[in-house]
Amino acid sequence: MFKKNKIDTSGINYFEKIAKLISELAPIDNMNSILIGEDIYIRIPKLKFKFKNEVDKSIYLKIKNIIENFSGSLDWTLSFEENQDPRRYYIIKPKLFDNKNCYEGKRTEFFSNKKYDNVMFEVDIYGEEIYKDTCKKAINDIPLLTEYLSKALTDIKN
């Protein structure tokens, strides 16, 4: 569907650095992300993680505030996913891809036709040009977001 588009970041996974920074506030139990250097269109660039223990809401709000105050090519957010476990999954991703109203009801309908995957779903919602442009901008923002988060969290701890 898409031509593979790799990006050279000298093997650094910035999402892992972000997870390490966040884990200094509260230990992270589980995390997954795209790996920078893979095909950048394979998934929406995002970091999904779960804290080892339930955390005070103030930690979530501090991190969310920092991420939403980042000034990059895109607006970013920290949202969460409800699940059976009392510990939520938190997700750092471009704000465009956090539009729950856009997704409501469409995901079930879309995936009932089993020939689609996540990328095709996102492309169907946003269109190929917006999807690809947002992925490129996100990949370029991630190192800057990492640096911004590092500085902001250092300021909070001091």
Cα–chain center distance at 91? 5
Confidence of residue 1 (pLDDT cuts 50, 70, 90): very low
Give the pLDDT score at 2: 40
Q: What CA–CA distance (Å, rounded) separates 2 from 118?
A: 13
Residue 70's pLDDT band, with cuts at 50, 70 and 90, is very high
3-state secondary structure 28-84: EEEEEECCECECCCCCCCCEEEEECCCCCHHHHHHHHHHHHHCCCCCCEEEEEECCC
Instruction: Please write the tens of the pLDDT for every residue from 23-47.
Output: 888 888 888 776 555 577 777 888 8
- Predicted confidence (pLDDT) at residue 8 exceeds the cutoff of 80: no
Place of tokens 């879309």: 110
- Using pLDDT thresholds of 50, 70 and 90, give the confidence band for residue 14: confident
pLDDT per residue as tens digits for the range 128-150: 899 899 988 998 999 999 999 99
Task: Quote the CA–CA distance of 131 and 124 in Å, as a whole number.
Answer: 9
Flag whether pLDDT at 10 surpasses 50: no
Q: Which of 123, 110, 70, 119 is nearest to 92 (CA)?
A: 70
Q: Which residues contact 66 (CB under 8 A, 6 or more apart)?
A: 148, 149, 152, 153, 156
